[in-house]
Amino acid sequence: MNTNLSSSVPSQLETDCLVVVVLDRSEKDQSEKDQSKKDKPAPSLESSDDAVREAARDVISSGEVTGKPFETTLLHRPAGLKAKRLLLVGGGKAKTFSAAELRKLAGAAVRTLKSKSIRSFAFVVPETAIPSSQGLRAIVEGAFVGNFDPGYYKSDRNEKDQKIDALTIVVHGDAHDAKAMESAMQTGRIVAESQNFTRDLVNEPSNRMTPTMMAERAKKMAAEVGLNCETYGADKIKQLKMGAFWGVAQGSDEPPALIVLRYDPVGAADKIHLGLVGKAVTFDTGGISIKPADGMEKMKYDMAGGATMIGVMRAIAMLKPKVKVTAIICATENMPSGKAQKPGDVQIAMSGKSIEIINTDAEGRLVLADGLCYARQLGCTHLVDAATLTGAVVVALGYANAGVFANDDAMYERLEKAQAKAGEKMWRLPLDDEYKENIRSNIADMVNSGGRWGGAINAAMFLKEFAEDTPWIHLDIAGTAWMEEQKPWIAKGPSGIALRSLVEFVKSFAS
């Protein structure tokens, strides 16, 4: 999708469709107190261009337009405008309207218009409290995210090719700084295209995204953006004594891959080295503790954590913040076979700790244990991991929030800021010592499954043993990496969750 900026008056812009936000200005308690429509303030059109206001006047005064979230009203040949169409999109309450809502509205506009075979449109940056550059970036991000659809293997070209080709963003009065605007647009584009890059990887089925193929994709991307990428196979995993990772990989005929991406810019501070560790189980059958058939096909997205870290590295390589970052992605299948590990087996992790395998389906924490240990060995001073780790996090938080765990409050606060800026939802869960009992083993240092109660926490407690004293954050994205239903702003399928937050998080360390 091409993106360009325009500072022309919206009504004078020639476009297939001009998109303007409409906000609901009514106060909640007011509408409760008096039901009469008369006193309710009219929804406000977020453009000061009189011609646009005039074109929308009748439909707004009719009461048909309320400004409620994602309400769309399409007018053809709007009087007085050069645009062929005028699309009004509801943004909800004016009081709570923020960049996060705007991002979604841009996605909703893209999805509404592309389904009508429209290929290009212009979005007017709302004249609200959101600073222009921030609004602009949110619109670009939302539009790219909305433009993604997962129908890669559909043979019907019509369905496949429904995409917006060109987006014009119409900036208003306070947007004097053309350079800042251009840079906000580029940043939004890089971040959202990286998010879609991740979604592409996650969308692939396991026969088209083996660990080896994932390593190849990482290599190709790295060459394109100028990152250092090394990929290793079983030999290196054994040589590093990654017994936990290998315990999972040993059951599959597909070779595992250890993917290491390095970003080391000149001018970065010596004392900060971020390590991004990703779970990339390209298919999780559960192993010998095999999963039920119902829904097992979804376990192709069990590599989403790794795909997220690869996407973050793409964005970082292009945005060039001055901070050293290394990503470690542990890619393998989890299969039952004659060579597979069995419940009761004991594996010795790279760190030297012994693990009694109670359940071979708790494999993600095993590959991450060695990934975290390796990151520390490479000198990482701060760690973040992302993984579709537990069904229990879905029970706890549903599909709306990713689970966050941290062994360090300052790290958590940094992530919280980044996540708010990125417009993503995450919720912190505890890591109290009380939970440690759940992973106690009779014969080894720990078991790999702490049972059902507090399952997401037990998994995080396990990982904590391998982060040791390094400040660390764990993101459990099992409930959020895949959209179970489509939303107005995003397709059903891979979401690319956490990428935008992590890019902001990394940038926050830049010198």
Residues in contact with Mn ion by the rule CB under 5 A = 284, 361, 363
Rg (CA), the chain: 24
* Of 140 and 357, CB closest to ligand BES: 357
Catalytic residue among 25, 219, 291, 507: 291
Q: Where do we find the tokens 């399952």? A: 455
Tell me the closest approach of the beta carbon of residue 481 to Zn ion, in angstroms.
11
392 binds ligand BES (CB under 6 A): yes
388 binds ligand BES (CB under 6 A): yes
Say whether 199 is catalytic: no
Stretch that binds ligand BES, among 22-30, 49-57, 385-393, 462-470 (CB under 6 A): 385-393
Q: What is the largest CA-CA distance in the chain?
A: 80
Number of helices (H), then strands (E), in the chain:
15, 20
Q: Is residue 418 a contact partner of residue 505, using CB atoms and an 8 Å limit? A: yes
282 binds ligand BES (CB under 6 A): no
336 binds ligand BES (CB under 6 A): no
302 binds ligand BES (CB under 6 A): yes
Q: Is residue 333 a contact partner of residue 252, using CB atoms and an 8 Å limit? A: yes
* Of 120 and 359, CB closest to ligand BES: 359
Of 364, 371, 403, 454, the one binding Zn ion by CB under 5 A = 364
Residue 94: both structure tokens together: 């004016």
Strand-strand pairing, 482-483 and 493-494: antiparallel
Catalytic residue among 217, 300, 324, 365: 365
371 binds Zn ion (CB under 5 A): no
Residue type for position 105:
L
Q: Which positions from 459 through 478 interact with ligand BES, judged by CB under 6 A?
A: 478
Of 193, 284, 370, 465, the one binding ligand BES by CB under 6 A = 284
Cα–Cα distance for residue pair 250/389, rounded to 1 Å: 20
> Which residues are bridge partners to 387 per DSSP?
476
Q: Which residues contact 329 (CB under 8 A, 6 or more apart)?
A: 214, 218, 257, 258, 259, 260, 261, 277, 278, 280, 306, 309, 310, 371
Q: Which is nearest to 499 in space by CA: 306, 308, 274?
A: 308
* Of 389 and 415, CB closest to ligand BES: 389
Which residue in the shown chain puts its C-beta closest to Mn ion?
361
* Of 363 and 465, CB closest to Mn ion: 363
Tell me which DSSP letter residue 370 carries: H
Stretch that binds ligand BES, among 46-54, 100-108, 252-260, 383-391 (CB under 6 A): 383-391
Of 302, 356, 370, 476, the one binding Zn ion by CB under 5 A = 302
305 binds Zn ion (CB under 5 A): no
359 binds ligand BES (CB under 6 A): yes
* DSSP notation for 125-193: PP-SSS-HHHHHHHHHHHHHHHH----TT---HHHHT----EEEEE--TT---HHHHHHHHHHHHHHHH
Residue 238: both structure tokens together: 């054994």
* Of 316 and 392, CB closest to ligand BES: 392
Cα–Cα distance for residue pair 312/318, rounded to 1 Å: 10
Q: Is residue 136 a contact partner of residue 125, using CB atoms and an 8 Å limit? A: yes
Which residue in the shown chain puts its C-beta closest to Zn ion?
284
Q: Which positions from 226 through 255 interact with ligand BES, judged by CB under 6 A?
A: none
Say whether 365 is catalytic: yes
392 binds, among Zn ion, ligand BES, Mn ion, none (CB under 5 to 8 A by kind): ligand BES
* Of 56 and 397, CB closest to ligand BES: 397
* Of 192 and 330, CB closest to Zn ion: 330
Cα–Cα distances in Å, from 60 out to 43, 51, 66, 67, 81? 7, 14, 8, 9, 17
284 binds Zn ion (CB under 5 A): yes
> Which residues are bridge partners to 75 per DSSP?
86
Q: Where do we find the tokens 């995080």? A: 460
User: Which residues are annotated as catalytic?
Assistant: 291, 365
Give the residues lining the site for Zn ion (CB under 5 A).
Answer: 281, 284, 302, 364
Give the residues lining the site for ligand BES (CB under 6 A).
Answer: 284, 302, 359, 361-364, 388-392, 449, 455, 478
